[in-house]
Amino acid sequence: MMERRLYRVQEIGVLAKLRAVSWVYVSLLVMLAGVGYVALYSAGGGPLPFANRHALRFGVGFLILIATALTDLRVIKRLAWPLYGLGVGLLVMVARFGHVGKGAQRWIEIGSFQLQPSELMKIFLVLALASWFHRATWERIGNPFYLLPPALATALPVALILKQPNLGTAVITAMVAGAVFFAAGVRWWKLALIALLVTVGAPLAYHHLHDYQRARIETFLHPESDPLGAGYNIIQSRIALGSGGLWGKGFLNGTQGHLDFLPEKQTDFIFTVFAEEFGLIGAISLLFLITLIIAGGFIIALRAREPFARLLAIGITVNYSLYVFVNLAMVMGAIPVGGVPLPLISHGGSALLTAMFGFGLLLSVEVHRDVSLTDEQDLI
Amino acid sequence: MRRDAIRTSLFTRRALLLGGIEALALGGLAARLYQVQVVEGKRYALLAESNRVSARLLAPPRGRLLDRFGTPLATNRINWRAVLIAEQSGDVDATLARFSAIIPLSEHEQARINRELLHQRRFVPIILRDFLQWEDMARIEVNAPDLPGVQIDVGTTRLYPFGPTLAHAIGYVAPPSEDEADDAPVLALPGMRVGRAALEKYHDLALRGRAGILQVEVNATGRVIRELARNEGVAGADITLTLDAGLQQDVVETLGEESASAVVLDARSGEVLAMATSPSFDPTLFNSGVSQAQWNEWTKSRGTPLINKAVAGLYAPGSTFKMVVALAGLEARTIKPGERIFCPGYLDLGDTRFHCWSRYGHGSLDLRGGLKNSCDVFFYELARRTGIDGIAAMAKRFGLGVRPQIELPEARAGLVPTRAWRESHGHHWNPGDTVVHGIGQGFLELTPVQLATMVARIATGRAVEPHLTRAIDATLDPGADPAAAPALDVPAPYLHMVREGMWAVVNEQGGTAPLARLDLPGMQLAGKTGSTQVRHVARELREHGHFNSENLPWELRPHALFVAFAPYDAPRYALAVVVEHGNAGAQRAAPLARAIMTSALTRDPLSRASAAPRLAASGESDPSSARAGTP
């Protein structure tokens, strides 16, 4: 079997790169956003107020996607730590000057655009960790001191996000980091030990949670105790899902969604609007589309040749799939309500653009899968 | 290369493992979807189509405010009202049109209803009409089939049995704004009110309680099929205050028609027993929104009825400040016990001549005589010797110029100037400024509650803080314990000298306030008068001798002040009275102080077990409250 040579220098031009972009994958993303358009059209009762803005944002996101896909992976790798620093800086800014929404500081405003740095931070963290583990050998990975810097690099943003407070995103960030550690080859028992420590520490942490976060956990355990708020959402969401049945009520015929039973239906609960109108068939189809996107991410990761590229692809894919799992489990009432949107389908600019940036990185890994990432300085 | 191969195969294994976990999770989601949408689908479809889960919200009753003996000062009364639940109504506009054919809704009401329909969840009842008459209720019931979603329910509305008598201390409630309802969903319930002033505002969260919920399954016609869940919620806390409603009524009657305020404290603990401001207003009027005409009348009235003058009225303390100047002088040793100062009727400082209120002078006086005669020259000279910063530091120890910790958001800090304060405003501190502050004029601005606190501290030697809360539900406020107040950082002999001076003011031949003398066996009152000129008039008076202030227009007449404590040998009550533009403290405020103190001493609000104060007219004479119970 002949092993393909790794390119030492950039030997492919823009046109060649454009041809190398996986357009199959891009079309999957367009289909996903199309589902979002349909669901938001229904949630808004027409192209306004949600669906058209969603399309416009997807257009902007598409440019980001392609631009990121064409960016040299070595440039991305060199930018990994500076971007990480930027992300931490933004989180600190949010803590100091951010806007308080629903009892937590999460946004900063740049012009009229609201940025939620915790979303970007997850991707920057994946970049930083992938860059760190790029040169990790089996021996190095076994050395606890080698693992200390990336562990601290994970703990810092997680702590900042916890403080906002945004429990859901903090947990997702930690899990994404955990996946990168795992894929990098960190020993089983070390990860298991940390997971155990977190599990034991959680009840202690519960006492330090904000009242509203405790309320969310309580609501999850007893949804009927807060029927005005989150509990009501879960009950109504389940009725909407269930009443959709096998075939659904038909486009624009959903009653629960249209009668305003579902608050925030255009953001966190968009899946229910879709599933009520298109039934189990529609919902499973959407799930299948999502499965293809996740599987595509894994394939890109396995095809990549360099550790940085592989870990980056794994991190981005796990990040996306955690969004999906948390959001869907949330609307089905299986885990506490956590304010996690469904990427490319939920209404919301910041989350959509961040997701497109992430997919752009994934495509860049695919485009540059045979490019050597070892810098001259790394050889010394 | 071999190492790389190991690494690659490790990565591949682990990536496949992660992929496997994800596949399992996706499969789990699909299975759950199948469960909800197909297996349980029929049940949920039924819930969504014909039967609905309906949430009936149970508004928590707002906690009551009680006086120290349990007499209700703010309570709730029953209110029958028509509400609309949009979720059950179908065509809301048609229902509203039919409703207003039965009970005409004004344009104003229509606008409010439409606004609430837009902002509220569809299962939250919206009030169509409050305070229903018996006939209206009958008409609605008869037409019920034409009015889907319209229900008659019973709520509560705030009732203030004492009306204007306690309006300033208790405050009032008003409907919440939309922003507030966003922050606290319980406020979205019909009839919920938010405290907008005084104790109703300060204790709002405790009084509010938590909403209850009744989850029922109803069929398409709105009939309840079964109860799914019930949570009674938590009623607002009952708050027991330090006020004595009976004493309060006496104080209000004593103040009469004057634009005045008075505060009575338990001198040992700082408990506020009475706090009155006149003229007053009817707090019940805020319940459903005040009319523009009424608002204009209040805000334009020269008696400023909406302002709690007892804690927010700022007055120069005048001669009532002389105790503080005396104590500052004693501490700074600018006057020794027994030392005398000569008063020729004026004090010259540079080119300026500062006059004493007595044109002929008081001759040679010691500290006691200075207080007894309220000699201005004595305190000009003492202030000149002591300096403004020494006086300000002493004033601060008596709570002057410091915002009191009293539970009233309206309370103000007032102002006790220092040299640094004046310089920070870009001015120079003149020696003449110090002199006028010696008699409580100049930049000084204090509230009646601060003056009462000052007297309580002089009387007991303890740093008492005025407060109004005695207990929240059954939890007793620690401030109710007289031993809780720390000792004041002023030597007891000095306080004793000042108290003697205050005793002489009232009880000795030639004192300035004989009208405050008590007519009770074995009890004596000690006090101090104050007459404080409106600022520019003060200057005229000082610089050009005397004129008869009775001839001035009302707004320019001096304020009349009196502060007192009693009984002299075992102080229990401290009070401050301010009569706006009342001319002279000795004539106008002292008799009021005497009447109030007599009432306090004879009714003894501190040890009485229970009481049945006379009820004010406001709530009881309202015809709708009598009707409320009948249906």
In this complex, do A307 and B12 lie within 8 Å of one another by their Cβ atoms? no
Range of the domain at B264: 245-279+307-603
Split at pLDDT 50, 70, 90, the class of A2 is very low
List pLDDT tens digits, range B335-355.
Answer: 888 888 888 888 888 888 888
In this complex, do B45 and A182 lie within 8 Å of one another by their Cβ atoms? no
Minimal Cα–Cα distance from B230 to chain A, Å?
9
Beta-carbon pairs below 8 A across chains A and B: 136
Looking at the fold, whether B249 and B117 belong to one and the same domain comes out as no
The answer as to whether B138 is a domain residue is: yes
Length of chain A, please? Answer: 380
Residue where a domain terminates, one of B241, B271, B291? B241
Q: Which of B17-31, B145-159, B372-386 has the lowest mean pLDDT?
A: B145-159
Split at pLDDT 50, 70, 90, the class of A354 is very high
pLDDT on residue B31: 92
Residue B222: pLDDT above 50?
A: yes
Chain B residues whose beta carbon lies within 8 Å of the beta carbon of residue A241? 33, 36-37, 44
Q: Which of A226-235, B237-246, B537-546 has the lowest mean pLDDT?
A: B537-546
The answer as to whether B226 is a domain residue is: yes
* Tokens linked to B122: 């569809």
Looking at the fold, whether B202 and B330 belong to one and the same domain comes out as no
The answer as to whether B230 is a domain residue is: yes
> Could you identify the residue written with the tokens 């009842």?
B125
pLDDT on residue A129: 95
Number of domains in chain B: 2
- Return the residue of A nearest to B233 by Cα: A225
Residue A280: pLDDT above 80?
A: yes
Residue B469: pLDDT above 80?
A: yes
> Could you identify the residue written with the tokens 């009475």?
B274
Looking at the fold, whether B136 and B99 belong to one and the same domain comes out as yes
pLDDT on residue B628: 32
Q: What are the backbone angles phi and psi of residue B63, rounded to the nearest 5°?
A: -60, 155
Residue B52: pLDDT above 70?
A: no
Q: How open is the CA angle A122-A125-A126, to the nearest 5 degrees?
A: 90
Q: Using CB atoms, pick whichever of B18, B41, B215 lies closest to residue A183.
A: B18
The answer as to whether B99 is a domain residue is: yes
Pairing of β B573-579 and β B559-566: antiparallel
Average pLDDT on B225-241 reads 78
Average pLDDT on A186-193 reads 86
Chain A residues whose beta carbon lies within 8 Å of the beta carbon of residue B32? 329, 332, 334
Q: Which of A240, A231, A330 is nearest to A279 (CA)?
A: A240
In this complex, do B215 and A224 lie within 8 Å of one another by their Cβ atoms? yes
Q: What are the backbone angles phi and psi of residue B550, rounded to the nearest 5°?
A: -60, -25
Q: Using CB atoms, pick whichever of A182, A183, A294 lies closest to residue B22.
A: A294
Say how many C-beta atoms besides its own lie within 10 A of residue B142's C-beta.
10
CA distance A36 to A54: 8
Residue where a domain terminates, one of B216, B241, B266? B241
Residue B539: pLDDT above 70?
A: no
Which of B6, B34, B37, B40 to probe by mutation at the A interface, max A CB count within 10 Å? Answer: B37
pLDDT on residue B616: 39
Q: Give the C-alpha distances (Å, rounded to integers) separating B495 from B458, B489, B499, B538.
A: 6, 11, 6, 29
Residue B282: pLDDT above 80?
A: yes
Residue A375: pLDDT above 90?
A: no
The answer as to whether B630 is a domain residue is: no
In this complex, do B55 and A239 lie within 8 Å of one another by their Cβ atoms? no
Q: Using CB atoms, pick whichever of B30, B38, B122 lies closest to residue A287.
A: B30
Provide, rounded to the nearest whole percent, the portion of chain B with pLDDT above 70: 84
Looking at the fold, whether B416 and B484 belong to one and the same domain comes out as yes
Cα B545 from chain centroid?
41
Mean pLDDT of the residues in chain A: 82
pLDDT on residue B617: 37
Q: What is the CATH number of the domain that holds B371?
A: 3.40.710.10
Split at pLDDT 50, 70, 90, the class of A34 is very high
pLDDT on residue B630: 30
Q: Which of A284-293, B302-311, B321-330 has the lowest mean pLDDT?
A: B302-311
pLDDT on residue B631: 29
Chain B residues whose beta carbon lies within 8 Å of the beta carbon of residue A232? 55
Q: Which of A4-8, B389-393, B585-589, B611-615 has the lowest mean pLDDT?
A: B611-615
pLDDT on residue B601: 86
Looking at the fold, whether B224 and B188 belong to one and the same domain comes out as yes
pLDDT on residue B627: 32
**Three-state DSSP class for B248?**
helix
pLDDT on residue B537: 52
Residue A217: pLDDT above 80?
A: no
pLDDT on residue B115: 82
- Return the residue of A nearest to B87 by Cα: A259
Average pLDDT on B11-30 reads 92
Minimal Cα–Cα distance from B53 to chain A, Å?
9
Per-residue exposure over B473-487, b if at least 16 CB sit within 10 Å of its own CB, e if not: eeeebebbebeebee
Split at pLDDT 50, 70, 90, the class of B623 is very low
pLDDT on residue B145: 81
Sign, CA dihedral A80-A82-A85-A89, equals: negative
Mean pLDDT of the residues in chain B: 81
Average pLDDT on B554-567 reads 85
B224 versus B385: the higher-pLDDT residue is B385
- Residues A180, A130: contact at Cβ < 8 Å? yes
**Three-state DSSP class for B116?**
helix
Looking at the fold, whether B205 and B251 belong to one and the same domain comes out as no
Q: How open is the CA angle A309-A313-A319, to the nearest 5 degrees?
A: 145
pLDDT on residue A379: 42
pLDDT on residue B565: 93
Looking at the fold, whether B252 and B197 belong to one and the same domain comes out as no
pLDDT on residue A350: 84
Q: Give the C-alpha distances (Å, rounded to integers) separating A267 from A39, A339, A343, A344.
A: 11, 9, 10, 11
HEC string for chain A:
CCCCCCECCCCCCHHHHHHHCCHHHHHHHHHHHHHHHHHHHHHHCCHHHHHHHHHHHHHHHHHHHHHHHHCCHHHHHHHHHHHHHHHHHHHHHHHHHCEEECCEEEEEEECCEEECHHHHHHHHHHHHHHHHHCCCCHHHHHCHHHHHHHHHHHHHHHHHHHHCCCHHHHHHHHHHHHHHHHHHCCCHHHHHHHHHHHHHHHHHHHCCCCHHHHHHHHHHHCHHHCCCCHHHHHHHHHHHHHHHCCCCCCCCCCHHHHCCCCCCCCCCCHHHHHHHHHHHHHHHHHHHHHHHHHHHHHHHHHHCCCHHHHHHHHHHHHHHHHHHHHHHHHHCCCCCCCCCCCCCCCCCHHHHHHHHHHHHHHHHHHHCCCECCCCHHHHC
Looking at the fold, whether B481 and B334 belong to one and the same domain comes out as yes
Residue A295: pLDDT above 60?
A: yes
The answer as to whether B288 is a domain residue is: no
pLDDT on residue A191: 86
Q: Which of B630, B628, B612, B437 is nearest to B69 (CA)?
A: B612
pLDDT on residue B49: 57
Average pLDDT on B493-513 reads 88
- Predicted TM-score (pTM) above 0.80: no
Residue A230: pLDDT above 80?
A: no
Q: Using CB atoms, pick whichever of A137, A242, A261 lies closest to residue B3.
A: A137
The answer as to whether B287 is a domain residue is: no
Average pLDDT on A174-187 reads 91
Residue where a domain terminates, one of B241, B260, B289? B241
CA distance B555 to B582: 10
Split at pLDDT 50, 70, 90, the class of B135 is confident
- Residues B271, B467: contact at Cβ < 8 Å? yes
Q: Virtual CA dihedral for A300, A305, A311, A314, nearest 10 degrees?
A: 20
Looking at the fold, whether B546 and B401 belong to one and the same domain comes out as yes
Q: Which of B40, B233, B63, B65 is nearest to B156 (CA)?
A: B63
Say how many C-beta atoms besides its own lie within 10 A of residue B27's C-beta.
12
Q: What is the CATH number of the domain that holds B229?
A: 3.90.1310.10
In this complex, do B47 and A242 lie within 8 Å of one another by their Cβ atoms? yes
Split at pLDDT 50, 70, 90, the class of A176 is very high
Residue B542: pLDDT above 60?
A: no
Average pLDDT on B268-287 reads 87
Minimal Cα–Cα distance from B125 to chain A, Å?
13
B233 versus B630: the higher-pLDDT residue is B233
Residue B263: pLDDT above 90?
A: yes
Looking at the fold, whether B595 and B469 belong to one and the same domain comes out as yes
Q: Using CB atoms, pick whichever of B6, B30, B211 lies closest to residue A138.
A: B6
- Write down the H helix ranges in B120-184: 134-142, 167-170, 178-183
In this complex, do B38 and A287 lie within 8 Å of one another by their Cβ atoms? no
The answer as to whether B401 is a domain residue is: yes
Sheet arrangement for strand B559-566: B272-278, B260-266, B573-579, B559-566, B526-532
Residue B191: pLDDT above 90?
A: no
pLDDT on residue A56: 92
Q: Give the C-alpha distances (Å, rounded to integers) separating B371 from A166, B496, B616.
A: 65, 13, 40
pLDDT on residue B624: 36
Average pLDDT on B349-367 reads 84
Split at pLDDT 50, 70, 90, the class of B614 is very low
Split at pLDDT 50, 70, 90, the class of B481 is low
In this complex, do A185 and B43 lie within 8 Å of one another by their Cβ atoms? no
- Return the residue of B nearest to A300 by Cα: B15
pLDDT on residue A109: 60
Q: Which of A188-197, B159-168, B321-330, B622-631 has the lowest mean pLDDT?
A: B622-631
Length of chain B, please? Answer: 631
* Tokens linked to B292: 């523009």
* Tokens linked to A144: 């606890």
Q: How open is the CA angle A26-A31-A37, to the nearest 5 degrees?
A: 130
Looking at the fold, whether B316 and B212 belong to one and the same domain comes out as no
In this complex, do B30 and A328 lie within 8 Å of one another by their Cβ atoms? no
- Which residues are paired to B274 by β-bridges? B264
In this complex, do A321 and B22 lie within 8 Å of one another by their Cβ atoms? yes
Q: Which of A14-18, A110-114, B294-298 has the lowest mean pLDDT?
A: A110-114
Minimal Cα–Cα distance from A15 to chain B, Å?
30
Average pLDDT on A19-25 reads 90
Residue B609: pLDDT above 50?
A: no
Minimal Cα–Cα distance from B235 to chain A, Å?
16
Split at pLDDT 50, 70, 90, the class of A157 is very high
- Residues B527, B567: contact at Cβ < 8 Å? no
Pairing of β B260-266 and β B573-579: antiparallel
Minimal Cα–Cα distance from B91 to chain A, Å?
12
* DSSP at B212: E
The answer, yes or no, to whether the previous bond of B466 is cis (omega within 30 of 0) is no
- Return the residue of B nearest to A184 by Cα: B11
- Return the residue of B nearest to A240 by Cα: B48
* Tokens linked to B293: 């005409």
Split at pLDDT 50, 70, 90, the class of B210 is confident
Minimal Cα–Cα distance from A353 to chain B, Å?
24
Average pLDDT on B265-271 reads 88
Looking at the fold, whether B234 and B174 belong to one and the same domain comes out as yes
In this complex, do B37 and A241 lie within 8 Å of one another by their Cβ atoms? yes
Minimal Cα–Cα distance from A277 to chain B, Å?
12
CA distance B590 to A369: 96
